[in-house]
Structures are given as structure tokens and as C-alpha cells.
Amino acid sequence: MSTPTLWLAAVLPAAALVAGLLGLLLPPAPSHDRASARRTAVALGVAGAAVSLLAALALLVRVDAPVEASTTWIDLGGLRVTLGLRLDGVAVLVATAVAAVALAVQVYSIGYLRRGPHDDVDVDHRYPPYAAQLSLFTAAMLTVVVSGDLIMLLAGWEVMGVCSYLLIAHDRRLPEAPGAAVKAFLVTRVGDVGFLLGIALLGVGAGSFRIADVLAHDYGTGTLTAACLLLLAGVAGKSAQFPLHTWLPDAMAGPTPVSALIHAATMVAAGVYAVARLFPLFERAPAALAVLGVMAAITMLLGAFAATAQDDIKRVLAWSTVSQIGYMTGALAVGAPAAALFHLLTHAAFKALLFLAAGAVIHAVGTTLMSRMGGLRTAMPVTFWCTVVGLGALAGVPSLSGFWSKDGVLAAAEAAALDGAGPSAAWVGWLVWLAGLVGVAVTAWYATRLLLRTFLGTTRTPLLRPHDPPALLRWPVLLLTVPAALLGLAAFAPWFADRLRVPGDDTGEAVELVHLAPNLVLPFLLLLVGAGVAWAGWRRDPAADPARFLGPLRPVFVRAFRLDDVQHTLVVRPVGALARVVRTGDELGVDGLVEGSGRTAVEVGGGLAALHRAALPRAAAGVLAGALLIGLAVALIGVTS
Amino acid sequence: MTGADVLLLALGAVAVGAGALVVATRHLVRAGLWLVVCLGALAGDYLVLTAELVAWVQVLIYVGAVVVLLLFAVMLTRAPIGPSDDLDRPGWAAALVGGGSGLGLAVLLIDAFRWSRVDLPAAGTAERLGEQVFRSWVLPFEVLSVLLLAALVGAIVLSRPDIGRRSADEGGRQ
Amino acid sequence: MRPVIPYVTAALLFGLGVYGVLRRRNAVLVLMAVELMLNAVNLVLVTADTTVKAALPHSGQVFALFVIVLAAAEIGVGLAIVLQLYRLRASVTVDDVPLAEPAPAVTPAERPEGAVR
């Protein structure tokens, strides 16, 4: 790797890291001078994200072939851990997306975490730690993206989890936030255990944790399948796939910019990115890909159906994220990582856009519940049109970015099902394809419902005077609308498609991201069906919720098939009971032993002391009798010997 | 039996008798006076054994100072002049241990010496004793003087009336 | 001179002294009994001076002198203590001297165990 590239690649995560660490180390401001601390925090956060974005753009221009640089960090006698960078087209594209969304979120947060029109009192938003944690998170995600070593990747992975935990619990006024943060952390942790074991298995097998070495090593099928399945556990956790998806809707307790950055565009995509990075290994383990396909199909439908019945606008978007990442993992399962990554990039754009626009609405209306919104189209036209673009991209309206990327996924699934292309079995392709098609219809349904309930119809809170958000909130939304609309067209540019080449694919043939074929029509028809049904239902009664047509299924969908309760019963309660048993054992047994020994010693000592505490008569008698006995003994021994 | 033996026997009997009365009498003041008799008899014993210096030091210090101190203490603790009934506790343990030790030692010593004879040294050992003290035993002598000083200081500190009154006040408050 | 006579005298005096220490309840009488014991020891030392041929001559009598000095020091301090006891308690009965400290007042804040939950 040439030196300027190396420097740029090092600056990429380092800029955000420095901004984060400086922000965390800033002394807490005195309460009367919060403004200057806030200014410093804003400056650090925006600067860190901006420098990282510039580095990413520079790398985007420079890097056209995979490059790598690494240095050995620890050598554990045959097991090498390196510090390294591995840049290829995929990495720089994802890094650019991450840095861009991070910058947008940093700027947006300046306006969002501020006293709003519905705040009665001036609340301390604790901006400095918030901005520092955002920067730290960005640095961790960028480390995961450019890392050339599995251990370094794991380090970034874990720091992301910590920052996610801290940021979800940021707003101390919300009683549900700490529980949501702990739930997010613990559920992803369960996945991370599998991830760590998978990495350990791969590293020990190859004798080195460097990704290039791991990809080049020839593993046995059993080891490889086991390692890939373990890695999938981590993917399921971080990317909120079934069965470890339960944390993502609750994580919406965090501030909306955090939801946009972490839980839509970046962290949840990290699992998909990791699989794509190690895809040559997954290709050789079809069993793991089959499991991934099943997971993806279930998740796609689960997320889509759960999104249809939610009242909270952020929860609709969260379940939508779960479902869309299902599309990405489904594409990976049928052996099309380029399609998965393309969908990842477009999803980052439109989902971040949707979250930030929803944040603008929440900021204006003061609630996240759609049942209290309505008729905002005339009051917030800019937000309305940006949301239209975002939802269109989500549903897959032709020519918007989501249409092209989703079509790529569906085409790959169809090819795997009908033609047997790709490393997985045909049934996996069928599963993913059919689930994907049903998902298109349902996605269109809930996207239309969201638009109708929020922006159209009569307003359900007439006393409010909502308006378009101020410039700091408006501009990031507007700027994100551009890639949400147009990124799909980049698929036609060969240099873009070429960048999404899977590592290790040396065939030299062009990567086809879009397939202009007659079967483009099928998803479009399903889109029209879904949107039409939603619109028709709304027209009957504009004030009512279209979700009422779900009938008895509505409560089931709202609770996401009660999987939260299943998790609670199967995992949380037994672990809680076990913890209580251990605690009681520790307090009674171990502590009891220690304290008991102390108490016993004191009591025995007290007893001996009482014995000693003889009055003079008894003491004198004892001493003299003892002397007599000793004298007798000595005399007798002297006589007998 | 030489004259020395007769004298030793007589004085010994007096000492033992007086000692028995010291530990058995019901009159406090008489106990002190019987102690004088006992110590005097012992001084006589020392004279017979040609230990003149020890005998006269015994009279001066033991009879003259120690017994006087004991009698002072008896008076200062408001001892009754007549007989008192509560001076003793049950005597079986005392008799056992006391009798055992006394008789045991006697048996031991009789067994060791039987009826052997020893020649008494020449009279007038004070000068030779002084030589020994100030030649071979001078260090213990000096240490003893320090000890006496310490005892003196200690006794004064213990006896100061204001310390007593302060402790009495604190004792009362407890 | 038959040394067994003063030796037996000393032994009997020692026994009487032990009997007195264990029998008497008045502190001053106990001290008198202790004096009897010390004198018995003195008699043994002086007699031994005549029967034993020591490396240093007359060491028995020298030790007897030392014992007398020690006895004087001991009686001084001992009686000071007895008089102090009399001042505090108006009685010198050895049996009545209390041995346990008066129980300190236990306030709830001072109980260490179980407080930190």
C-alpha cells in the first residue's frame, strides 16, 4: 500500500477516534457555562466526522484494487495477531457511507438536542458526552470496515456495542431507556460470544488472525462450517436477525439521530459487512449459507408484518430495518454479496433519511405516536417530500435507489432458485425469493400506511402549530434525499459495480448489479398491490388506522408474534433465577463462611478471655497448684530416672 | 547436737509457730505483730548461720520498714481492732496446696540432706560480703538501685490523692 | 551444724505462706503471707551458702540481700495499689474486685455487621 493511501486509511478511523477521546476527556462544564462546553463538543464532533469523510472520499478516488498493509502486533507462539488495514472497493464504499451518515447525524444532533418548542424547562442534554460517544462509535465502525485483522475487527465490533449501550440510555428522562440499553447490550453480547468463538476457530486454524491469511487457508469442511455458524450468531445479534432481533425496536428509546446512525445505517449493517468480507469462507460452507437463508426469510417476513401494526413511528422504522437487513442476509445466503452490499448502501441512505425526517416530525409534534399525528403535509412540506422519497426507496418505487438494489436481491434469489446459481441449494433460493416477494407487498403496505397516517388526512392534534424544522435539521435530510433517490443509478456505472466485487473473485467478469429483465415487473406489481390496498383502506375512513383491517392479527403483529415474551420466559427468567441462587449461595455460603469464621474466632477468644479473667483467689490457687504439680513431677522424674 | 543446732531448732520452731499464727489469726493487727516475731526469729537464725549483715539488714528493713508499712496499711484501710469473722475463705484448697507444697519441699530437703553435718564458716563475714557485692555483683547492685527508684516513683504516682479523686469521679460516672 | 533443720524450717514457712495466700481475703494479709514465702526463700539461700561450695564465695548471702531489697520495693508498690483500691471501693477484700469491664453502650450505628446491604 502506498504511503499516502496508508496515511489516509489510518486517518479514517483515527480522526473520529481522536475527536471521541478528546470529547470524553473534556472536564465537565460548570452548570452555568454549559454553552461553551457544548460549542467545543459540537466542533469536535463535526470536525472528526468531516475529516473522516474527506479521508473516505480521497480513498474512494485512489483505491481501485485491493491493497493491504499490516504489522505483527503479538505473536503467541505460532498464532499471529496483526494490526492491519485491508482496503478494497467494498471497504471504501461502505466507509464513505458511514462517514457521510455520521457527519449528517452530527450536524442534525446540534439542532435536535436542543430545547425544543415542546420543552417546558431547559433540560441539560449532556451534549459533550453524546457527541464524543457518537464520534467514538464512528471510529469503531470505521475500524470494523477497514480492519485487516479479525481481532482488530472484533475490537471495533465490541466498542460499537458499548457506544450503542451508552447512547441508547442517553436521555435520562425516559424510564424505559436504561432497560432498553441493557437489553440491547445483552442480546448482542449473546451473539458476540458466538462471533468470538468463530473468530478464534478461524484464527487458530490458520495460525494467524490476519484476514488475508484466513481467507487463503484451507480449512476442513467441519471446522469451516462450525466457524461460519458461530460467526452467524454474531451477525444475528448485531444485525438484529431472528432470533436475536428483540433488542432493536426497544432501542428506539435512544435519541432519533442515534437511531439513524447506529440502528439503521451502520451498526446493524456491520454483520452483513463482516459476512461479505469473509464471503470466500462462507462460499465453501453451504450449510452455513442455508442456515443464513432460513434466518433471512423468517426475518424478512417477521419484520415486515410487525411493522404493519405499530403505532410508534420509530418502531415502524425499526421493524422495517429488521426486515430490510433480512433482504441483505438473504442475498448473502444465495451467494450474491455484491447485491447485498448494494442494498446495504442504499438502505443506509434511505433509512437514515427516514429516521432523520421522522425526527423532524417528532421534534415538531412532540410525540412519536402516529395516532397523534396527521395532516402534516401542508405544515411541513419539505419533510413531507423527503419522506415520500425515502418511503418510495424503501418500498421499491421504480427509479429510486431501493428499487434497483431490492431488485438485485430478488434477481439473485430467483437465479439461485430456478437456475441453481450460487453456492447454496435451490430450496434456499426459493425460500429467500418467495419471502422477498411477499415482503415487497407488505413493505409497500406499511410504508403507505406510515405516509398516510403521518402526513395526510386531517390533523389529530389541531392545537399544535407544527412547522418545517430549522436549517440544522433540514439540510441533512435534504442532502440524504439525493443518494436515496439517485444511488440506484450508480449501479449502471461500471466503476461502481466493479468496486463491489467480492474479495477473492478473480474471474474478471463484470459484476452485474442490476438486471434489466422482464421479471422486474413482478415486484413492481406487488408494490402496487400493497400500496393500493393500504390506500383503499385509508380512503374508507381517513381518520382511522388502516391497520384495523388486520383484525385479530393486529395484537399479534404489534407484539411481533410475542417473541419478546418467549425470550423472556426461555432465557431471562431462568438466568434471573440462576443469578438469585448464585447470589444467595454467595451471601449465605461464602460470606457466611468468612463472617462465620470471624464470629467464631471472636467468640472463642471471648470464651478464653473469660476463662483467663480469674479473680485473684482463683488465679493464685491456679498458679500455686500448678507450681506444686510441676514440682512433684520433676521430683518424681528425678527420683525415677 | 551442738549449740548451734539447738539454737536453730528453737528459733525455727518460734518462726514456724509465729508464721502459723500470722496466717491463722482473726485479729488483723495481731497478724502484723506475729509477723514481727517470725521475722525476728529468722534474723536470729541468720546470726547463728554467721550471716550477720543479712541478719541486721533483715531487722532494719524487714522488721523496721516492711512490717511498719504493713501496719500502716492495716490502719489506713480501717481494719477493726478486735477479731473479724470475714477474713478467710474456705480452707480446703489452701490446705491442700499449702500443705502439699510445704510438706513436699520438706520431704525433698530431708531426702537430700539427711542428718549430715556442715562446718560453719568463721564469724565476721560482713567485710568479705561487702567485697563480693562491690566486686562480682556490682552490676546487679546498680540495677537494683534503679529498680528501687522505679518502685519509689511508681508508689508515689499511685498514691497521689488527686489521681485517686479523678479516677473516682470517672468511676462514678461509669 | 545440721543444715536439714533450717531447710525444713524454710519449707514449712513456705507452705504456710502458700496457705496464707490462698486462704486470706484481706489484701494486706495476703501481702503478709507473701512476705513469709520470701523469707523462706531467704533462709534457704543463707543456709545453702554454708552447704554449697560456690564459685563466688558468699553468693547465697548476697542473693539474700538482693531478695530483701526486692521485697521492700514490692511491698511499697503493692501497698500503694492496695491503698488506691481502698480509696476507690472502701474495701480491700480481694474477692470483691470486679474483673469485667462495665458493658459499653451499644448504639445502632456502631453495629458493623449487616449494615451494608
pLDDT in tens, C19-36: 999 999 899 999 999 999
Q: Among A38-52, A256-270, B98-112, which is the least confidently predicted range?
A: A256-270
Q: Which cell numbers hold the place of A510?
A: 463484470
* Subunit contact C23:B23, Cβ cutoff 8 A: yes
Closest CB from C5, C13, C80 relative to B155: C80
Cell of A113: 438536542
Q: Could you tell me which residue, A441 or A265, shows the higher pLDDT?
A: A441
* Banded pLDDT at A94 (limits 50, 70, 90): very high
CB distance A139 to A11 below 8 Å: no
pLDDT for residue A524 is more than 60: yes
* Chain B residues with CB-CB distance to A625 below 8 A: 93, 96-97
Q: What is the pLDDT of residue B170?
A: 55
Phi, psi of B168 (to 5 degrees): -65, -40
Phi, psi dihedral angles at A69 (to 5 degrees): -150, 135
Q: Which residue has the higher pLDDT, C7 or A119?
A: C7
Facing residue for A616 by CB, picked from C18, C94, C113: C94
| B91 in the same domain as B9 | yes
Section A560-567 average pLDDT: 85
pLDDT of residue C90: 84
User: What residues have CB less than 8 Å from B126, skipping those under 6 apart?
Assistant: B52, B53
Distance CA A242, CA A248 (A): 11
On whether both B125 and B164 belong to a single domain, the answer is no
For residue C106, name the pLDDT band (cuts at 50, 70, 90): low
| Interatomic CA distance for residues A226 and B5, integer angstroms | 111
Is A628 within 8 Å of B93 when comparing Cβ atoms? no
pLDDT score recorded for residue B3: 86
Look at residue C100 and tell me whether its pLDDT is greater than 70: no
Q: Phi and psi (nearest 5°) for B80?
A: -70, 145
How far apart, in whole angstroms, are the C-alpha atoms of residue B171 and residue A148? Answer: 81
- Tell me the shortest Cα–Cα distance from A600 to chain C, in angstroms: 14
Number of H helices, E strands in chain A: 26, 2
In a domain, C10, yes or no: no
Contact B61 C68 (CB under 8 A): yes
Which chains touch B (3+ CB pairs under 8 A)?
A, C
Q: Residue ranges of the domains in chain A?
A: 286-500+517-555, 569-640
* pLDDT tens column, A333-361: 998 888 899 999 999 999 999 999 999 99
The CA distance from C14 to the nearest CA of chain A, in Å, is 11
Q: Is residue C32 situated within a structural domain?
A: yes
Round the average pLDDT of chain C to a whole number and report it: 85
Q: Measured between alpha carbons, how far is residue A403 from residues A357, A524, A532 in Å?
A: 20, 9, 18
Higher local confidence (pLDDT), A28 or C3: C3
Which among A354, A361, A364 has a CA at the least distance from the CA of A386?
A354
For residue A513, pLDDT over 70 is answered with no
Please identify among residues 107-126 of chain B the ones whose CB lies closer than 8 Å to any CB of chain C: 108-110, 113-121, 125
Say if residue B171 is in the same domain as residue B118. Answer: no
pLDDT at residue A115 greater than cutoff 60: yes
What residues in C contact A595, CB-CB < 8 Å?
Answer: 113
Low-confidence ranges of chain B (pLDDT < 70): 124, 163-174
Per-residue pLDDT at C80 exceeds 90: yes
User: Do A108 and A353 contact (CB within 8 A), yes or no?
Assistant: no
Inter-chain touch C50–B54, beta carbons under 8 Å: no
Distance, in angstroms, between C112 CA and closest chain B CA?
Answer: 24
Distances in Å between the Cα of A373 and the Cα atoms of A70, A549, B50 are: 53, 20, 127
Residue whose entry in the numeric block shows the C-alpha cell 450474491: A336
In a domain, C38, yes or no: yes
pLDDT the model gives residue A119? 67
| C21 chain-A contacts, CB cut-off 8 A | 620, 624
Asked whether residue C71 is assigned to any structural domain, the reply reads yes
Highest mean pLDDT (candidates B104-108, C102-106, C111-115): B104-108
What is the per-residue pLDDT for C110? 45
pLDDT above 80: residue A6: yes
Q: Please give the single-letter amino acid code of residue A364.
A: A
Task: Spell out the residues 6+ positions from residue A641 whose beta carbon is closer than 8 angstroms to its own.
Answer: none
Per-residue burial over B99-110, b = 16 or more CB atoms within 10 Å of its CB, e = otherwise: ebbbebbbebbe
What's residue A116's pLDDT? Answer: 66
pLDDT at A500 over 90: no
- Amino acid residing at A168: I
- Counting beta carbons within 10 angstroms of the beta carbon of residue C53, is it exposed (0 to 12), middle (13 to 18) or buried (19 or more)? exposed
- In chain B, residues with a C-beta closer than 8 Å to the C-beta of A628 are 97, 100-101, 104
Per the CB < 8 A criterion, the answer to whether A317 and A355 are in contact is: yes
Tell me which chain A residues have a C-beta less than 8 angstroms from the C-beta of B94: 621
Give the pLDDT of residue A498: 76
Q: Which chains touch A (3 or more CB pairs under 8 A)?
A: B, C
Is residue C46 included in any domain, yes or no? Answer: yes
Instruction: List the single best residue of C21, C28, C34, C117 to mutate versus A (max A Cβ within 10 A).
Output: C21
Helices (H), A420-520: 426-455, 471-486, 494-499
Identify the CA nearest to A294 among candidates A431, A422, A442.
A431
d(CA A155, CA C22): 82
606-635 in A: which are within 8 Å (CB) of B? 617, 621, 624-625, 627-628, 631-632, 635
Distance from the Cα of A628 to chain B's closest Cα (Å) equals: 6
List Cβ neighbours of A485 (8 Å cut-off, separation of 6 or more).
A389, A393, A400, A401
B residues 68-97 closer than 8 Å to A (CB)? 89, 93-94, 96-97
Q: What is the mean pLDDT of chain A?
A: 87
pLDDT tens digits, residue range A143-169? 999 998 999 999 999 999 999 999 999
Residue B138, chain A, CB below 8 Å: the answer is no
C110 touches A: beta carbon within 8 Å: no
Q: Which residues contact A529 (CB under 8 A, 6 or more apart)?
A: A441, A444
Residue C69 lies in a domain: yes
* Structural domain boundaries, residue B152: 137-174
The 3-state DSSP class for residue A581 equals: helix
Residues B53 and B84 occupy one common structural domain? yes
Residues of C in Cβ contact (< 8 Å) with A613? 99-100
Mean pLDDT of C36-58: 91
* Partner C contacted by B173 (CB < 8 A): no
Q: Which residues contact B144 (CB under 8 A, 6 or more apart)?
A: C66, C69, C70
Average pLDDT, integer, range A375-388: 89
Q: Domain range holding C43?
A: 26-94
pLDDT band of residue A415 (cuts 50, 70, 90) is confident
- C102 vs B20, B136, B174: nearest CB: B174
Does residue C117 carry a pLDDT above 50?
no
Calculate how close chain B gets to A637, using CA atoms only, in Å. 13
Domain count, chain C: 1
- Report percent pLDDT > 70 for chain A: 96
- Burial classification of residue B46, based on how many CB atoms lie within 10 Å of its CB (0-12 exposed, 13-18 middle, 19 or more buried): buried
Residue C59 has pLDDT above 60, yes or no: yes
* pTM, entire model: 0.69
Rounded average pLDDT over A356-367: 89
Rounded to 5 degrees, what are φ and ψ at B88? -120, 155
Give the mean model confidence (pLDDT) for residues A500-514: 62
Measured distance CA(C7)–CA(C16) in Å, rounded:
14
Same domain, B108 and B147: no
Judge if B114 and B162 occupy the same domain.
no
Q: Radius of gyration over alpha carbons of chain A, in Å?
A: 31
For residue C21, the distance in angstroms to the closest alpha carbon of chain B comes to 8
3-state secondary structure at position A456? coil
In the predicted structure, residue A453 carries a pLDDT above the cut 70: yes
Mutating which of C34, C44, C77, C89 best tests the B interface, going by the most B Cβ atoms within 10 A? Answer: C77
C77 with B155: Cβ contact below 8 A: yes
Question: Of B97, B103, B107, which to mutate for an interface test with A (greatest number of A Cβ within 10 Å)?
Answer: B97
Helices (H), chain C: 4-23, 27-51, 59-89
Whether the predicted pLDDT of A507 surpasses 70: no
- Cβ(A164)–Cβ(A240) below 8 Å: no
Residues pairing with A80 in the sheet: A75, A208
Pick from C21, C25, C100: which is nearest to A613 by CB? C100
- Give contacts of C99 with chain A, Cβ < 8 Å: 613-615
CA distance B10 to chain C (A): 10
Kindly identify which residue of chain C lies nearest to residue A619, measuring between CA atoms: C22
Amino acid letter, residue A313: I
pLDDT tens-digit profile of A574-631? Answer: 999 999 999 999 888 888 888 998 899 999 999 988 877 777 788 888 889 898 899 8
Greatest Cα-to-Cα distance within chain B, rounded to the nearest angstrom: 68
Q: Does B108 touch chain A (CB under 8 A)?
A: yes
Q: Does C99 touch chain A (CB under 8 A)?
A: yes
Does A543 or A127 have the greater pLDDT score?
A127
Q: Which residues of C touch B1 (CB under 8 A)?
A: 2
Q: CB distance A624–B104 less than 8 Å? A: no
Chain A residues touching C97 at Cβ < 8 A: 615-616
Min Cα separation A603/chain B (Å) = 25
State the sign of the Cα–Cα–Cα–Cα dihedral A269, A272, A275, A280: negative
Among A131, A150, A145, A172, which Cα is nearest to A48's? A131
Measured between CA atoms, the residue of chain C closest to residue B142 is C66
DSSP letters, A146-195, are: HB-BHHHHHHHHHHHHHHHHHHHT--TT-TTHHHHHHHHHHHHHHHHHHH
Residue C7 in contact with residue B10, Cβ under 8 Å? no
Say yes or no: B114 and B171 in one domain. Answer: no
C-alpha of A639 from chain center: 94
Cell of A409: 436481491
Measured between CA atoms, how close is C49 to chain A, in angstroms? 23
CB contact under 8 A, A621 and B89: no
Rounded Cα distance between C80 and A629, Å, is 33
Percent of chain C at pLDDT above 70? 85
Whether B7 and B39 map to the same domain: the answer is: yes
Rounded distance between C-alpha atoms, residue A214 and residue A310, angstroms: 43
Q: For residue range A296-326, what is the model confidence (pLDDT) as tens digits?
A: 999 999 999 999 988 899 999 999 999 999 9
- Which residues of chain A have a CB within 8 Å of the CB of B98? 624
